[in-house]
Amino acid sequence: MIGIFDSGIGGLSVFKELSKLMPKESYVYFSDSLNCPYGPKKTDFIIDRSTKITYFLIEQGADIIVVACNTATAAAISYLRSNFDLPFVGMEPAIKPAVLHSKSGVVGVLATAGTLKGPLYLNTLAHFKGDVKVIERVGDGLVEAVEKADFDSKDVKKLLRNYIEPMLNQGADHIVLGCTHYPFLQRSIEEILDGRAEIVNPALAVAQQTLKLLKEQKAAPAKEQPFCKFYSSASFTEPIQIIIKSLTAAPCSFIDSFSI
């Protein structure tokens, strides 16, 4: 059983890759939509929520936990790793491949405030940045839009344009999506990029790392019929449930207003 959590539904962009790569596994997902966004919240609050959610996912039978949230990873993953005895896979903005592949020497990173000030991101940046110019931007308002299943309204496209256009004007040829909510906006982002830059999303690499850790952990693949349980501290709206069902062939159950 793979446990996944996020401040909201953003982690579903990671679930998408996980379930493509490991369709026979069962999943339990916790969306903390009641407390979303995590981005502007204090580190202690995020550690507290991540700890409670981790206990819950373990109770549900998780053998491994994917912290499908850059902000929670930045704030809490070292705490979780030192307080729980199971493997965690975290998310961080994929600055390394962006820097390595950049031809223009300019890269844009769109993420939350919490992620951009987190030690993981800052260390990776210091390690790989070299001479590359990295333009960071906090994507204010984008997480809230995705939570409302607004992926392509005029307002959300205007926000995206405000964040991304200045990166392109300075020559960015890679735009790193440093928040798991942002891949839901991929089509709107591509419209703005118009071929001028590539989108970098670490979700597939995270899924591959999860598979690697699972293989190290157990020899036999899952035997039971796979199933997926989705818990939310708020609710999974109809459009979101439709998206989720399109991501897996396994039966899905949805539990709303679940307080932890």
Residues with active-site annotation: 69, 179
Asked if 93 and 77 count as a contact pair (C-beta separation under 8 A), the reply is no
For position 181 contacting ligand DGL by CB under 6 A, the verdict is yes
Q: Which of 72/168 has CB closer to ligand DGL?
A: 72
Q: Are 183 and 147 in contact (CB under 8 A)?
A: no
**Residue 253 to residues 148, 154, 187, 227, 256: CA-CA distances in angstroms?**
20, 33, 28, 8, 10
CB 164 within 8 A of CB 175: yes
In angstroms, what is the minimal distance from the CB of 99 to ligand DGL?
Answer: 20
- Contact status: 102 vs ligand DGL (CB under 6 A): no
Q: Based on CB atoms, which residue is closest to ligand DGL, 28 or 67? A: 67
Which residue, 146, 147, 195, 188, is CA-closest to 168?
A: 195
Interacting positions 215-244 with ligand DGL (CB under 6 A): none
One-letter identity of residue 1: M
Rule CB under 6 A: is residue 90 a binding residue for ligand DGL?
no
Query: Which parts of 119-178 interact with ligand DGL (CB under 6 A)?
Result: 143
CB of 182 to ligand DGL, least distance (A): 8
70 binds ligand DGL (CB under 6 A): yes
Closest CA to 176 of 108, 248, 114: 108
Considering only 22, 26, 37, 233, the residue that binds ligand DGL (CB under 6 A) is: 37
User: Where do contacts with ligand DGL occur on this chain (CB under 6 A)?
Assistant: 6-8, 10, 36-39, 69-71, 112, 115, 143, 179-181
